[in-house]
Amino acid sequence: MSLVTLVVLSSVLGSPGSAVASPGDLFGAIDSRYERGAIDAETRLLYRVAAVRRPDLLPADLRDLALRFGAGGGERRSLTPIFLEAMRWVQDNQAQGGALHRLLLPPDDLSLVIESTTHPIRVSYESTVDQALAEWTLEYAEIAWDVLIDEYGFWEPPIEPGSERYRFYITSTNGSGAAYTAPYDENPATPHTDYFTYIVVDPAANSQWDIAGTVAHELNHATQAAMDALEPAPFWENTASYIQSRVFPGQLGFTIGTMFLFQGQPWRALDYMNQQNSDAYEYGGGLFVWYLADTYAPADPPQFVAEIWRNCVQNAQLNEPDYFDAIEATVADRGFDHTMEEILLDFSEARFFVGSRDDGEHIFGAWQFDNAEVALAAQHFHGQLPIRQESPAPTKAPAAFGANHVLLDLPAFYEHPIAVRFNGDDDTRWAARVVLSGGGQATDSVALTLDPETWDGTVVVQPAGYDTLLLVVANLGDDGYDPDQYMAPSSWPVSSYTYTFEPVLELPSELILEPSVVERGQQGVPFVLRGAGFQAGGEFRLAFGDEAIQVASIDLVLPDAVSFQLTIPLLTELGAKDLILTNRDGQQLTAPGILTVVERDTLRPDGGPGGGDTPRVGCGCRAADGASAAGTGTGLGMALLLALMWLWRRRRR
């Protein structure tokens, strides 16, 4: 298919009435046509590459969109994945020489050229206006070349025979991004899959202050293409985002500044990327590479990352080993026996402790990761305990190789053990742990042992002295999870689970009810239940075995006393009554026969048996000779209440 034919087809397949994903979102508009079946896969890739290199080849409405807004539609700095996807399609479909392949080929040198005297690098540019940028590009390319290849151990980008130098171009990306590395042909001189590449830098999107990072980022892509061009694009960007600030420490702001895009959706897969229209999640994934390097090779972290890429190298058209395999192998080479599932869970814990949450025990220097705190799946407070059978919101349920973080805030005085229960869906594999932190204590991490059939488990932890309890949940995907198997954003399978936080409390003991005898037919009768271990809140309640007796109110709950009021209807059966106490954590205790109901007018005013000569009204608000102990009105109830509060405060002082 020639480029002329492409223009003709574009005008037919891309009608002016085609839907656009959002204003200025050219890539979204192209993909919308593909998803509707209006264009085929090759034309989609042609349009995407043309949007960056040759907008004049687009159909009229898309061309107008490009002219008015640029490609837009994302947070891109690097456009490399667009060109990588196109080149892989050419390779997979043996379409060398076709229109798409020809659109990928490097342009001729631009009107002005400068070359390195020490490195095989050429920079060409279009105008003297861009001369300073061209000179900075060459200077930083020479430095990055030495650091990436000679110091870190990435492989030198292959240079096509006859071109003699690696090529940089200072030219427009038509508003679509800052730069890109474009693979355009496979290198036939090697047994593994590696591509010839060139780099384009957009002068409008790069200043003196960020060109160093752009050059290091894209040159790292060129070295990746020299090692294993089949690795999933997310890992290309994870790596380059991390590496650029290692090559040029002044670019640390970019690496840290993109982390929030990754941390804001931890329930996504580690290897997630929206290939159609990136939201830059994969750039923030530099945090994952930072974690790996800092954890397993603190003495030489960038070299460790280059080792991962060397372990990715394959000699077949299938991407095996993939970068998950390579990470495991590289970790093993450094003396650690950790699977990717274990690494995922460890990282899922560590990524919580960044920025303002840094505990100094996980990722070195994580305090500086401003605004990169991980988004929580849920947050609870101790006053809500017990929390039973909760699940993450459907939009936050973790995908395979994604994670959730559920936080429980605790007060400094909290002293009871907490049982944490987890039960995961059976359509995937799970790992979970409870992490206690804060309060000036060392962070403590406790694993939940999960049944491999039902994926449920319980652990009891003692959070006394800590500020927070964190449940870390990792969806491990199916056995043999492969980062090559998912491409579209909707293709990562999502699963859910339930969790419970339940205090483990001692049941109240030594129960004494005052008064213990009451006449039936009274309302609002005040009582005090004495004992030890009462816990207000949660599920705390009182009830009687005889359902006719009504608990009118619970007025005060202290650790050693409960003030409450009862209504004893006239038809209540006489005799001993059981009290059923449900403590805060839901545990129940029955005090058999703790209350006796007697007939009206059978108690003396002092509460003893034998009624007075004056009949009393059993409403609890008026009685002969004042009131019996069981029928005392509001005055005595308030007196008891105030006395209890005074004693409690005095004891605490």
CATH topology of domain 373-503: Jelly Rolls (2.60.120)
β 403-409/378-381 pair status: parallel
Which pLDDT score, from 0 to 100, does residue 275 have? 77
Alpha-carbon torsion angle 378, 384, 387, 390, nearest 10:
-30
What's domain 509-652's superfamily in CATH? Answer: Immunoglobulins (2.60.40.10)
Task: Name residues whose C-beta falls within 8 Å of residue 490's C-beta, 6 or more positions apart in sequence.
Answer: none
CA 481, 483, 487, 490 dihedral sign is positive
- Please check whether residue 448 is in contact with residue 422, taking contact to mean a CB–CB distance below 8 angstroms: yes
DSSP 64-96: HHHHHH-S-SS--SB-HHHHHHHHHHHHHTT-T
Residue with tokens 């508003």: 175
Distance CA 112, CA 203 (A): 14
Q: Tell me the torsion sign for CA atoms 190, 193, 196, 199.
A: negative
**Spatial CA neighbour of 465 closest among 487, 443, 447:** 443
- Say if residues 114 and 128 touch (Cβ distance below 8 Å): no
Q: Which residues in the chain land under pLDDT 70?
A: 1-24, 69-77, 487-489, 605-653
Q: Which residues have C-beta within 8 Å of that of residue 119, sequence separation ≥ 6?
A: 141, 142, 145, 146
Distance of CA 377 to the CA centre of its chain: 7
* All residues at 6 or more sequence positions from 311 whose CB lies less than 8 Å from its CB, including other chains: 321, 325, 326, 329, 330, 333
CB 405 within 8 A of CB 491: no
Per the CB < 8 A criterion, the answer to whether 128 and 31 are in contact is no
Which token pair is 600? Answer: 């009206």
Helix (H, G, I), strand (E, B) or coil at 263: helix
Cα 464 to chain centroid distance, Å, stands at: 27
Q: Closest by alpha carbon to 286, among 308, 255, 252?
A: 255
The Cβ-side half-sphere exposure at 368, using a 13 Å CA radius, reads 8
Distance CA 209, CA 268 (A): 32
The answer to whether 195 touches 126, Cβ cutoff 8 Å, is no
Upper half-sphere CA count for residue 392 (Cβ side, 13 Å): 29
Q: What is the pLDDT of residue 607?
A: 57
Q: What is the pLDDT of residue 26?
A: 85
Residue 60: CB atoms within 10 A of its CB come to: 12
State the maximum Cα–Cα separation within the chain, in Å, rounded to a whole number: 123
Residues 6+ apart with CB under 8 A from 2: 99
CA distance 445 to 420: 13
Q: Residue 592, exposed/middle/buried by CB under 10 A (0-12, 13-18, 19+)?
A: exposed
Q: Which amino acid is at 117?
A: T
Q: What is the CATH number of domain 102-257+297-338?
A: 1.10.390
Half-sphere exposure of 333 (CA within 13 A, CB side): 14
Q: Residue 596 is encoded by which pair of tokens? A: 């006796």
110 vs 115: CA distance, rounded Å: 13
The domain segmentation of the chain, as residue ranges, is: 3-73, 102-257+297-338, 373-503, 509-652
Q: Distance between CA atoms of 425 and 496, rounded to whole angstroms?
A: 6
Predicted pLDDT of residue 262: 97
d(CA 71, CA 52): 7
Question: 282: which 2 tokens?
Answer: 């994969």
Fill in the amino acid letter for 68.
R
- Closest by CA position to 308, among listed 397, 210, 202, 228: 228
CA-to-CA dists, residue 138 to 128, 155, 168, 366, angstroms: 15, 19, 8, 33
Q: Provide, for the chain, the percentages of residues in helix, strand and coil under a 3-state DSSP scheme, each rounded to the nearest 5.
A: 35, 25, 40
| 3-state SS assignment for residue 179 | strand
- pLDDT value for 630: 38
Q: Which of 494, 475, 489 is nearest to 340 (CA)?
A: 475
User: How many Cβ atoms from other residues are within 10 Å of residue 478's Cβ?
Assistant: 12
Could you write out the DSSP letters of every residue in 374-403? PPPSEEEEGGG-SEEEE---GGGSPBTT-E
94: buried, middle or exposed (CB in 10 Å: 19+, 13-18, 0-12)?
exposed
| pLDDT of 643 | 53
d(CA 306, CA 206): 27
Question: Distance between alpha carbon 164 and the CA centroid of its chain, in Å?
Answer: 46
Q: Give how far Cα 432 sits from Cα of 150, 210, 448, 557, Å.
A: 41, 40, 6, 36
E-assigned strands of 87-204? Answer: 112-115, 121-125, 166-170, 179-186, 195-201
Name the β-bridge partners of 563.
Answer: 528, 556
